[in-house]
């Protein structure tokens, strides 16, 4: 039992940072000493950028195509570079149990290469999650168009993806925030989400959430959310939960219809039973869907920077109206099916978070259709348009 509590050595999680933003993120994970727990890989067309980070495993893609000078902000070049180096990418991830792609969309390498990496994961039957950022509005419509096309390209091969809007993050930080501070905050969001996910999946807890639980929850169709909250004492644990459920940067409707939820409690020291039960009960009070599958987890980590950290993942949420101003959007396709007998028991529900995430799947939504969507062909469904595209349209109308 003691050996089990030290972690699951057979589970290999690979985080692939693609392009400038993605490489910066995996470099932050390396600096936070996660390289001993997960396989960190930096992928770029820019040799100078690769040489500037400390991640040990680096892959220069498209060397013959770009000569190591980058993709020139052209996603087509990024894709061709990944094609040229496809065998290198395949060999780097082929032994992984879960692959998490992180990239900034809107440029060349991250936008163009990420869909091919997701496709390789699909071919290798590796569950894959992508966490990507959208460009700032000030970066221009062209980069936003590239980003939206990248999301459209990745939605078929990927199992689930999360998009973070830098503009909505900027609105939350205020107009006076510095440029570097804004980018650092965006990277901090990515880092906190990835660290919490990796820790949950890679460490065996006293109440354990494993890879199959993770796959099951993300396989539910509908809107999804992911959030992280922190507290400096156990007495403030409910504040951490509220951070995870009520991110002011996130707006999501009808979360009470969630079909699946993961509630993961990280503690520096042993929590009170009343705290554990109280947190789950607090989530239950927010849920009207009594058939929801809730998977609780508890991990003791004396090295936590805060006394309490809470990770919330939820999916299968039905929305009756268009969600406005989401910071994150997760498009989902079903993951590898998990036998019914392996589904964990429990019940709970969620909301939003301090570094929150909102998500949509391909299940039909009850969004309203206005003149801005009149370009949809008569034979196409509204859900043929990526959810993030519809939501950004809604934001632009505000």
pLDDT of residue 302: 87
Tell me the average pLDDT of the chain. Answer: 76
pLDDT of residue 250: 42
Q: What is the DSSP letter of 207?
A: B
- Cα torsion at 257, 262, 266, 269 (round to 10°)? 90
Q: pLDDT digit string (tens) for 168-196?
A: 666 666 677 777 776 677 667 667 777 78
pLDDT above 90 covers a percentage of the chain that reads 35
Q: Output the pTM of the full model.
A: 0.70
Q: Mean pLDDT lowest for which of 74-83, 115-124, 315-324?
A: 315-324
No. of helices (H) and no. of strands (E), the chain? 14, 12
**Is 188 known as a binding-site position?**
no
| Range list of H helices, 203-313 | 211-218, 237-245, 273-284
Q: pLDDT digit string (tens) for 75-115?
A: 999 999 999 999 999 999 999 988 999 999 999 999 999 99
**Is 108 known as a binding-site position?**
yes
For residue 311, the surrounding DSSP H or E stretch is strand 308-317
**Superfamily, domain 211-373:** Tubulin/FtsZ, C-terminal domain (3.30.1330.20)
Asked if residue 292 has pLDDT above 60, the reply is yes
**From CA 322, how far away is CA 385, in angstroms rounded?**
14
**Is 284 known as a binding-site position?**
no
pLDDT of residue 165: 74
Q: Is 31 left (phi over 0), alpha (psi -120 to 50) or beta?
A: alpha
**Is 139 known as a binding-site position?**
yes
pLDDT band at 3 (very low <50, low <70, confident <90, very high): very low
Question: What is the residue extent of each domain of the chain?
Answer: 2-202, 211-373
Average pLDDT on 274-288 reads 87
Please count the CA atoms within 13 angstroms of the CA of 363 that sit on its side-chain side.
Answer: 19
Q: Can you name the CATH fold of 2-202?
A: Rossmann fold (3.40.50)
Question: Helix, strand, coil proportions of the chain in percent (round to 5)?
Answer: 40, 20, 40
Q: pLDDT digit string (tens) for 323-382?
A: 333 334 444 444 444 444 444 444 333 333 444 444 433 333 333 334 433 333 444 443
pLDDT band at 220 (very low <50, low <70, confident <90, very high): confident
- Comparing 2-202 with 211-373, is the CATH topology the same? no
Judged by DSSP in three states, 302 sits in coil
**From CA 365, how far away is CA 260, in angstroms rounded?**
18
Q: What angle do CA 73, 79, 81 make, to 5 degrees?
A: 90
pLDDT band at 236 (very low <50, low <70, confident <90, very high): very high
**Contact present, 320 and 147 (Cβ < 8 Å):** no
Q: pLDDT digit string (tens) for 29-73?
A: 898 887 777 899 999 999 999 999 999 999 999 999 999 999 999
**Is 254 known as a binding-site position?**
no
- The CA–CA distances, whole Å, from 216 to 127, 159, 292, 343 equal 11, 11, 12, 7
């Amino acid at each position: 039992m003691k050996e089990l509590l030290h972690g699951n050595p057979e589970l290999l999680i690979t985080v692939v940072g693609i392009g400038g933003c993605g490489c910066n993120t995996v470099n932050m994970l390396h600096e936070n000493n996660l390289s001993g727990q997960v396989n960190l890989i930096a992928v770029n067309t820019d040799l100078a950028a690769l040489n500037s980070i400390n991640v040990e495993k680096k892959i220069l893609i498209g060397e013959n195509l770009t000569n190591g000078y980058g993709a020139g902000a052209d996603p087509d070049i990024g894709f061709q570079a990944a094609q040229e180096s496809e065998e290198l990418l395949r060999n780097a991830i082929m032994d992984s149990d879960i692959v998490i792609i992180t990239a900034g969309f809107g440029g060349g390498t991250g936008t163009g290469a990420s869909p091919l990496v997701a496709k390789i994961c699909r071919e290798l039957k590796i569950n894959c999650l992508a966490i990507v950022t959208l460009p700032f509005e000030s970066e221009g419509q062209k980069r936003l168009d590239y980003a939206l096309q990248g999301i459209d390209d990745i939605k078929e091969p990927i199992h689930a993806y999360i998009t973070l809007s830098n503009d909505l993050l900027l609105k939350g930080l205020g107009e006076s925030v510095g440029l570097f501070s804004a980018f650092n905050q965006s990277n901090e969001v990515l880092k906190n989400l990835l660290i919490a996910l990796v820790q949950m999946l890679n460490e065996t807890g006293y109440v354990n959430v494993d890879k199959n639980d993770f796959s099951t929850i993300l396989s539910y169709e509908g809107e999804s959310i992911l959030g992280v909250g922190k507290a400096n004492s156990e007495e403030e644990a409910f504040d951490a939960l509220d951070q995870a459920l009520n991110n002011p940067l996130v707006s999501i409707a009808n979360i009470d219809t969630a079909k699946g939820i993961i509630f993961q409690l990280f503690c520096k020291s042993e929590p009170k039973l009343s705290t554990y039960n109280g947190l789950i009960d607090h989530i239950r009070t927010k849920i009207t869907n009594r058939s929801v599958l809730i998977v609780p987890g508890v991990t003791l980590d004396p090295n936590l920077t805060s006394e309490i950290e809470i990770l919330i993942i939820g999916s299968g949420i039905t929305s009756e109206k268009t969600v406005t101003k989401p910071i994150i959007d997760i498009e989902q396709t079903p993951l590898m099916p998990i036998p019914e007998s392996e589904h964990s028991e429990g019940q709970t529900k969620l909301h939003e978070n301090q570094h929150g995430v909102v998500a949509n799947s391909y299940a039909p939504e009850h969004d309203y259709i206005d003149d801005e969507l009149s370009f949809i062909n008569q034979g196409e469904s509204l859900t043929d348009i990526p959810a993030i595209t519809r939501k950004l349209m809604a934001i632009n109308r505000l």
